[in-house]
């Protein structure tokens, strides 16, 4: 658990930083302008979210691979820790090995990060009075709901991603995303794509509620509204 705990802040900073800057560019406005009633369109929010998903894949692919490999091993004989895991992958597969499952990760994260921010912005707007700053309750509900919605769409590709990532560490070998999907459906049926959905959803609400509350609090501190 030490590895994902140490790296989750980096990934979230890339996600939210990319999203905020992309939204500024697409709307040709600043965060404070949008908080004063000049809301971004759904198309802008979705596009900025997709962009953030694409950027974070470059950072998260190796991190996610190491996490899955460490969590998937049943003994400590293969990997002694994150650094050793990276060294073994580089030695056996080269730098490309760190991006095993990267296509599945991209197919999961690019559209799903677009969906991640859409319900957040919509629910936050619905729970916030006109010309008012969103309150803690509104942020928590919007953030938690966004997490649940996103994982509902992300879980199928997450299953495929994890299987591809484990294929280089003693797991079953697959020729790619489509091959993995065909084999999984043939052997386990369509329900295979929803393995872990309930657990992901139960985890997603509190985690993303706190994530968005932290983000909004920090942005409010560093970029306060003009009237405050």
Domains and CATH numbers, the chain: 1-98 (no CATH), 100-227 (1.50.40.10)
Judged by DSSP in three states, 190 sits in helix
In 73-135, which residue ranges form alpha helices assigned H by DSSP? Answer: 82-93, 102-126
Written as tens digits, the pLDDT of the chain (228 aa) is: 677 777 888 999 999 999 999 999 998 887 776 666 577 899 999 999 999 999 999 999 998 888 888 877 766 677 888 889 899 999 988 999 899 888 889 999 999 999 999 999 999 999 988 778 889 999 999 999 999 999 999 999 989 988 888 876 666 788 889 999 999 999 999 999 888 888 888 999 999 999 999 999 998 888 887 654
In the prediction, which pLDDT does 168 show?
Answer: 64
The confidence score (pLDDT) of residue 49 equals 96
pLDDT of residue 225: 72
CA distance linking residue 90 with residue 203, whole number of Å: 32
Location of structure tokens 């991640």: 116
Contact 7, 63 (CB under 8 A): yes
Q: State the Cα–Cα distance between residues 200 and 203, nearest whole angstrom.
A: 5
d(CA 139, CA 123): 9
Cα(65)–Cα(53) distance, integer angstroms = 16
What's the confidence (pLDDT) of residue 74? Answer: 65
Q: Are 122 and 43 in contact (CB under 8 A)?
A: no
Q: Whose structure tokens read 């509902």?
A: 152
Is the whole-model pTM more than 0.95? Answer: no
């Amino acid at each position: 658990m030490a590895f994902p705990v140490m790296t989750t802040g980096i990934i979230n900073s890339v996600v939210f930083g990319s999203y905020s800057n992309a939204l500024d560019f697409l709307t040709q406005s600043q965060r404070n302008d949008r908080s004063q009633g000049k809301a971004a369109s759904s198309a802008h929010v979705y596009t900025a979210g997709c962009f953030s998903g694409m950027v974070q894949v470059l950072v998260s692919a190796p991190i996610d691979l190491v996490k899955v490999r460490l969590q998937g091993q049943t003994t400590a004989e293969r990997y002694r820790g994150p650094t050793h895991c990276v060294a073994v992958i580089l030695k056996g597969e080269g730098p490309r090995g760190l991006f095993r499952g990267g296509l599945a990760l991209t197919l999961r994260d690019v559209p799903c990060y677009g969906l991640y921010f859409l319900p957040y912005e919509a629910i936050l707007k619905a729970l916030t009075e006109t010309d008012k700053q969103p309150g803690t309750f509104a942020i928590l509900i919007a953030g938690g709901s966004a997490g649940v919605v996103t994982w509902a769409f992300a879980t199928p590709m997450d299953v495929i991603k994890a299987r591809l990532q484990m294929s280089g560490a003693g797991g079953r070998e697959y020729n790619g995303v489509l091959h993995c999907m065909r084999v999984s459906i043939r052997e386990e049926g369509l329900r295979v794509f929803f393995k872990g959905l309930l657990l992901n959803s139960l985890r997603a609400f509190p985690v993303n509620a706190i994530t968005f509350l932290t983000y909004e609090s920090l942005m409010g501190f560093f970029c306060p509204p003009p009237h405050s």
